[in-house]
Amino acid sequence: SVKSPINNFKILFSAYVAENCHKNTETLIYELFRDIPILIYMACTKNTSIIFQNYSNYFGKNFLINYLGTENIDNDIIEAFEKFLILHAEHEQNASTFIVQACEMTGSNLLNCMLAGVTAIEGNYHGGASEQAFFQLQNCDNLEKLVECAKSNNCKIAGLGHRIYKAIDPRAAILKEMCEKINPGSVILQRAINLENLISKDEYFKTRKIFPNIDLYSGIFLESIGIPPNLFIMVFILARFVGWIAHYKEIQSKKIKIIRPHQLYQFSD
């Protein structure tokens, strides 16, 4: 159903893998950039009628025009959406990228590796995080109470903290500016800004280096241009395909052998 776009996409993409897996890598890369925006659009809407598909330019535009059902979209929105995809395309050794690399090391083909990445990105702690952050802000009438709850370890604030960044996620700062430009009157945007202001003055968060990450503002941006929360992860997948392909090519070119992590068991009585 349309309520389960990620499942729709896995079904569509599995069929795509079966039909195209015999092709060489370079051909597949070109065709993926052409086809993925349309496959994701179809998964989101269950619609097969294509309004716009330009093979040489506008990776994100192919999805956005078809999803919104019109070519009459403000250029500022299209440019902002393309920037959004760039911000989400690549972020080093995140979970789904590592899975793509691990699959490539086994000798699996490009499409199978991409399908593995889609499966890995699905969790709430990875691709689903922006949806979690959006709903938490949407349902929160008392930010001070939410902050105190987090400080007492009784709840987690989605969209804050990062394993790598010990200051504000630079992608979050850019997205915040984009949100303010596209929809400055958004109630949820103002809550996110208020939350950021609260934690920036609080010693608990400052000493623990907990600052906004990209998920705090990414859902707010997507909702402001007409993409609902259940499709946030689909846009994340659209963007991250680019990064996955780049990492696949890197591992392939270096002929890296299979990584086999060691395990150390600790036995207890």
Q: What residues are labeled active site?
A: 126, 162, 215
Q: What SS3 class is residue 8?
A: helix
> Which residues on adjacent β-strands are paired with residue 160?
212
User: Phi/psi zone of residue 185: left (φ > 0), alpha (ψ -120 to 50 degrees), beta?
Assistant: alpha
Q: Distances from the Cα of 245 to the Cαs of 90, 189, 207, 238, in angstroms? A: 10, 33, 37, 12
What secondary structure letter does DSSP report for 212? Answer: B
SS3 string of 59-116? HHHHHHHHHHCCCCCCHHHHHHHHHHHHHHHCCCCCHHHHHHHHHHHCCCCHHHHHHH
Distance CA 168, CA 172 (A): 7
Measured CA to CA, the distance from residue 90 to residue 245 in angstroms comes to: 10
Token pair, residue 181, equals 């430009």
**Residue matched to tokens 């809550």:** 191
Tell me how crowded residue 9 is: count the other CB atoms within 10 A of its CB: 22
Q: Counting beta carbons within 10 angstroms of the beta carbon of residue 34, is it exposed (0 to 12), middle (13 to 18) or buried (19 or more)? A: middle
The letter for the amino acid at 240 is R
